[in-house]
A and B are shown apart, each in its own frame.
Chain A
Amino acid sequence: MASLLRSLILLLIVQSFLFAIAFGSNEVEEFSEALLLKPLPDRKVLAHFHFENRAPPSNSHGRHHHLFPKAISQLVQKFRVKEMELSFTQGRWNHEHWGGFDPLSSMNAKPVGVELWAVFDVPQSQVDTSWKNLTHALSGLFCASINFLESSTSYAAPTWGFGPNSDKLRYGSLPREAVCTENLTPWLKLLPCRDKDGISALMNRPSVYRGFYHSQRLHLSTVESGQEGLASGIVLEQTLTVVLQPETTSVESNMQPSWSISSLFGRKVVGRCVLAKSSNVYLQLEGLLGHELKNVDTEIEAHELWKNAEFELSLKPERVLRESSSFLFIFDIDKSSDSEPFDLGLTWKLPSKWSCQQAPLHASRFLMGSGNERGAIAILLKATESQEKLSGRDLTNGHCTIKANIFQIFPWYIKVYYHSLQIFVDQQQTTDSEVLKKINVSPSTDKVSSGMMEMMLELPCEVKSVAISIEYDKGFLHIDEYPPDANQGFDIPSALISFPNHHASLDFQEELSKSPLLSSFKEKSLVRSYTEVLLVPLTTPDFSMPYNVITITCTIFALYFGSLLNVLRRRIGEEERFLKSQGKKTGGRLKQLLSRITAKIRGRPNEEQSSSESPAAQSSVLSSKLIFKIILVAGAAAAWQYFSTDK
């Protein structure tokens, strides 16, 4: 044990020495881990794992990394990715109960399936190629079918409706992608300690995937160094958000369930990841409005707060931070060890009730109409209760307005009629210009590209509900384009509703330690919410029919062609005789030849010859036939020769 420790120390010394040589500066790669736990009003617990890995700008080209995953840095260098986010999600974020106006929800509430967006730092013409290559690389890296986003029918280039404004942005999502542990394992591989040590050791697969919501996110952005000759630095942020239902033993229905880390995950934290610069556990308690301890010193508060009449924590927090509506307890897991594992628990003593802060409007989306020919998509925005309290209002011309951006991708088989767009504000149909400030549409092209719609609405603050409906025709696909379970239907990716005037941030009242999780919470993030994925059933052809259809249709054509031609060239006996007499009268040699040929084609004996000509004449006819045949064959041969030599 002692020798192991010594070698480890030695290794660390050598490592730091190498660091100093490699960079010649004090900037080193940093890794930090954090876990945020948060009880939710509907008796569930949210666990948010946050890992951040920073690679500083360096001047070496094919550079060496200590902590930073090589796969990611190669990806960034190869495809010149400026910013990228990839998320795997299972389950829907419950905006009503889990919050819609805090940084946690606006960043981690993701649409079902896979969502990927990336901003590239390449010339405009190469963006699509880079995107395609990136999807393939990510597909291999994360064992997911992200490569389906390669085809131009599944991604779009949002201009302003999606968060970052850039013309080099590409966005795509795969609503049907199933997310499972095979996606989590490669994701964990990017962490320096994997799931062997530190906070990530809590990720017990059965407990993580048992949750109501599971979103695994990878966000990377490059930091320009500003210095000449330096490559840009990379910040890799990996988060895993799970919503779990703690097992309760209490019979009281209005009592919040008590839980501990070991009861949630079936594991305990045993020591930190030694490579992490900081590893903290946070517990966020919202809505403790019973504690109006405004003027109490935080130190005293911390002493008092963690054990009070309402609840009790099993460990004493290091510090307590206060935000406008919530408290944050900070724990350090440094002290834990094998013998004394870190196992935070929360025990409720009294029934408690609170609500989460919600986005100004609650968005939902649904389909209208029946049948497999056409339908309409409706997006319904409903005012939430907390709307009055919101601060992010925009007072223009003395009116209080809420701005809402709607970004929506339509697959090509949903043929949207943009002229049928209707907006109802409080059940009153409005003309477009009243609330619709801006609209950008890129219509879909059959089998080539998907459609995209970006809308900016400016709504009065006192609005109760807004309904947007747009009609569409359902497309009919070729049999090869249907997936194996064709009758299940097709998914329309989630729409994104964002509120450009509203920014969510947790405003802690004091200067913080440099915890990346808290600093990311402190940054103002755009309030956004994703709507449901829609399932559109499309009609299917009969998959067993191709041969029948081909044969029947070709029969019809044969019938048409044959019978029409037959009618055209049919002659009745009278006409035949007439023609013959005509032929006799004007008897030239060419005419005779022609009549003979026609007779031959018709397969009838040339009556004229057999009746009128003697056997002696027949031999000459034979010879002339022979000559004709020879000429024909020779001509064909010459033509063949000519064309074959020509090539």
Chain B
Amino acid sequence: MAEGQKKLCRFWIWALSSVAFRLILISFPGNLNLSSRPEVSTPLTSIRRLAEGYWLKQASMSPYAGSMYHGSPLLLSVLGPLTVQRIKGQPSHLLCSLVFVIADILSAMLLRGIGQKLQMAYGLNARLLGFLKSSRDKVILPCGDIAALVYLWNPFTIVSCVGLSTSPIENLAVILALFGAVTRRVPLAAFGLVIATHLSLYPATLIIPIIFLLGCGLDAPPIKLFLQTRSVENEETSTSTVSKQAKLKQTMRIPFLWKTVAHFLFWVLLWSLYVLVLCALSLNKYGGLEEMFKRTYGFILSIEDLSPNIGVFWYFFAEVFDFFRNFFLIVFHVNILFMLLPLAIRLKHRPCFLAFIYLAISSILKSYPSVGDSALYLSLWALFVNELIDMKFSFFLFCGYLGISLLSPVMHNLWIWRGTGNANFYFGNAIGYACFQIVFVVESVSAMLNHDRALKRSNSNHQEVKS
């Protein structure tokens, strides 16, 4: 017990120190010029563009007039006033930075909540399958604490929080949706999903994992294992207590909870109506919802802005022949959709992991990716430390991420500021980043499937031993 307390204490120390670190960083003037880094702020998440949109709105023009702002009108109403207000003697945008710091803390806490649930589920399942006797309980890592700390101390998160990009808020919405689904708070899950989709479109894919989460429950080994276990146990002995059998039955015969899902869909509908009405009200005079969809989702889907970022699309669409532009647009966007179904079929018993994979994929194939997206999926990855402990290439990937994040500013500087390099330098870097992300995703999936396989094998061994 004392050890647990000590651990908890250590967690809070680390968490608070990360917050303090952020506060120190945001008090530097000019936000260390991070807000203009292409890796941190994309056309969608840049606070400068948001301030421009707010200025245009204040000048009674549509915030989408011109090609500056492409975000949500709601975010504009919330963050817009903060970009203007200044506290005397303090760096500008201090209030905005504080909002982002709070968003980061909230995200970390929610991640911790998700992690604790997952940890409990992992322990329960393991015990049910009979791997974990009470003596081996320590093996389960506190994945919630780890994920929260990974989120808080990830340089990517810190950079995008201090660099005033709106991605901490988008991440918060995504994590909120997952948290709601994990804790079975249906309206909360629906709210998070709707807001996240409203802010950046790609989290719309999360509707599949959230439905699985609500319908079938938390991540668990494949259901076949339980069935096998039960049959073995039934055959083997009738001495087991009735209560245990009943409990097993409960966990095994998991019906798909259509009612909850319907409930969830209803709430999604309700919240999206609500958000749309709010947007329509705020854009009442400036072209309404049609304009909003054209300037936000349209902008995301048609990749109009060709300014460099850490993705590969900007250079591709700057170079590709105009005749093929639409074809490649469709191909690249469909690439995200193509993978949804196979992944959902294969990983339907692990909805949280499925959500992580979807987020990672969309952050690779996004039109305007930033390191904030990586921060999100990397910390979600940390939720599965127990399962993914045997992941291959993890050191290689770590070095890759590190190298890319160090090389990226150098290449950008050589190309843009010094003029001694050319666009290929930065694009090469982006290619490398995409490759590392792809390897990361593939290895994660593979490790998770191997974990399931290992469970099964040991389970059958276990049975053989027993019989």
Which residues on A are within 8 Å of B, measured CB to CB?
370-374, 412, 415, 417-419, 439, 441-447, 451, 473, 475-480, 539-542, 545-546, 549-550, 552-553, 556-557, 559-561, 563-565, 567-570, 572, 574-575
User: Which of B59, B416, B423 is A542 in contact with, Cβ under 8 Å?
Assistant: B423
Q: When the two chains form the complex, which single residue of A417, A478, A540, A567 contacts B68, counting CB atoms closer than 8 Å?
A: A417
- Complex Cα distance, B197 from A335, in Å, reads 85
Question: B residues bordering A, Cβ < 8 Å?
Answer: 36, 48, 51-52, 54-56, 59, 61, 65-68, 304-308, 312, 314-322, 331-332, 335, 338-339, 342-343, 346, 364-365, 415-417, 419, 422-424, 427, 431, 434-435, 438, 441-442, 445-446, 449, 453, 457
* Contact A480 to B335, CB < 8 A, known contacts A370-B417, A419-B52, A563-B442: no
Contact A563 B307 (CB under 8 A): no
Q: Are B445 and A567 closer than 8 Å at their CB atoms? A: yes
User: What would be 25 A-B contacts, judged by CB atoms less than 8 Å apart?
Assistant: A374-B36, A419-B55, A443-B66, A444-B67, A446-B305, A476-B307, A477-B306, A477-B318, A540-B422, A541-B423, A542-B319, A545-B319, A546-B321, A549-B320, A549-B427, A550-B319, A557-B335, A559-B438, A563-B442, A564-B441, A568-B343, A568-B445, A570-B449, A572-B453, A574-B453
Nearest chain A CB to B408 CB, angstrom units: 14
Cα separation A203 to B457 with both chains bound (whole Å): 99
- The smallest beta-carbon distance between A491 and chain B, in angstroms, is 20
Chain A, interface SS category: mixed
Closest 3 CB pairs between A and B?
A443-B66, A419-B55, A446-B67
B55 touches A479 (CB 8 A): no
Known: A415-B67, A556-B435, A563-B438. A372 touches B417 (CB 8 A): yes
Nearest-neighbour CB distance to chain B for A564, whole angstroms, equals 5
Which residues of chain A are near B315, meaning CB under 8 Å? 541, 549, 553
User: Which of A477, A550, A557, A560 gathers most chain B CB within 10 Å?
Assistant: A560
Contact B66 A445 (CB under 8 A): yes
Interface centre among A446, A550, A567, A570 (most CB of B within 10 A): A567
Contact of B308 with A478 in the complex, beta carbons under 8 Å? no
CB distance from A364 to the nearest CB of B (A): 26
Q: Which of B52, B321, B365 contacts A418 (CB 8 A)?
A: B52
Min CB distance A253 to B, Å, is 43
Q: Is the CB of B320 within 8 A of A540?
A: no
- Cα separation A475 to B51 with both chains bound (whole Å): 18
Nearest-CB residue, chain A, relative to B322:
A480
In the complex, which residues of chain B have a beta carbon less than 8 angstroms from the beta carbon of A561?
A: 335, 338-339
Given contacts A441-B59, A443-B68, contact A557 B319 (CB under 8 A): no
B30 CB, nearest partner CB in chain A, Å: 13
- Please tell me if the beta carbons of B424 and A478 are within 8 angstroms of each other in the complex: no
Q: State the CA gap A372–B415 with chains docked (Å).
A: 9
CA distance A130 to B36 in the complex (A): 42
Assess whether B453 is in contact with A575, with CB atoms less than 8 Å apart: yes
Across the interface, which residues of B come within 8 angstroms of A372, CB to CB?
416-417, 419
Answer whether A542 and B55 are a contact pair too, CB < 8 Å, given A417-B48, A557-B335, A560-B364.
Answer: no
Which residue from A444, A475, A542, A568 sits with its C-beta under 8 Å from B66? A444
Once the chains are docked, how many angstroms separate the CA of A451 from the CA of B66? 8
Contact check, B320 vs A546: say whether CB atoms are below 8 A apart: yes
- Contacts A480-B322, A545-B423 given; 17 further ones with Cβ under 8 A? A370-B417, A415-B66, A418-B56, A418-B59, A443-B61, A443-B66, A444-B66, A478-B317, A478-B322, A542-B424, A552-B431, A553-B315, A553-B316, A565-B339, A565-B342, A569-B342, A572-B453
Q: Out of B51, B419, B422, B431, name the residue touching A419 (CB < 8 Å).
A: B51
Whether the pair A373, B68 counts as a contact (CB closer than 8 A) is no
**Cβ of A445: which chain B residues have Cβ within 8 Å of it?**
65-67
Residue from A418, A443, A451, A550 with most neighbouring chain B CB atoms (10 Å): A443
Q: Are B320 and A550 in contact (CB under 8 A)?
A: yes
Q: A444-B67, A539-B423, A556-B435 are in contact. Are A476 and B319 (CB under 8 A)?
A: no
CA gap between A245 and B438 in the complex, in Å: 69
With CB as the reference atom, state the residue of chain B lying closest to A555.
Answer: B431
Q: Please, which residues of chain B bring their CB within 8 A of the CB of A479?
A: 318-319
CB-CB nearest in chain B for A547: B319
Complex: A419 Cα to B306 Cα, angstroms: 23
Cβ–Cβ contact B51 & A553, under 8 A: no
Q: Write the nearest CB–CB distance from B427 to chain A, whole angstroms.
A: 7
B410 CB, min distance to chain A CBs, angstroms: 15
Known: A443-B66, A549-B315, A568-B346. A542 touches B422 (CB 8 A): yes
Contact call A540/B36, Cβ cutoff below 8 A? no
- How far, in whole Å, are A552 and B68 apart by their CA atoms in the complex? 30
By the criterion CB–CB under 8 Å, are B319 and A475 in contact?
no
- For A439, list chain B residues within 8 Å (CB): 59
Bound Cα distance from A477 to B308, whole angstroms: 11
Which of B319, B331, B446 lies at the interface centre, i.e. has the most chain A CB atoms within 10 A of its CB?
Answer: B319
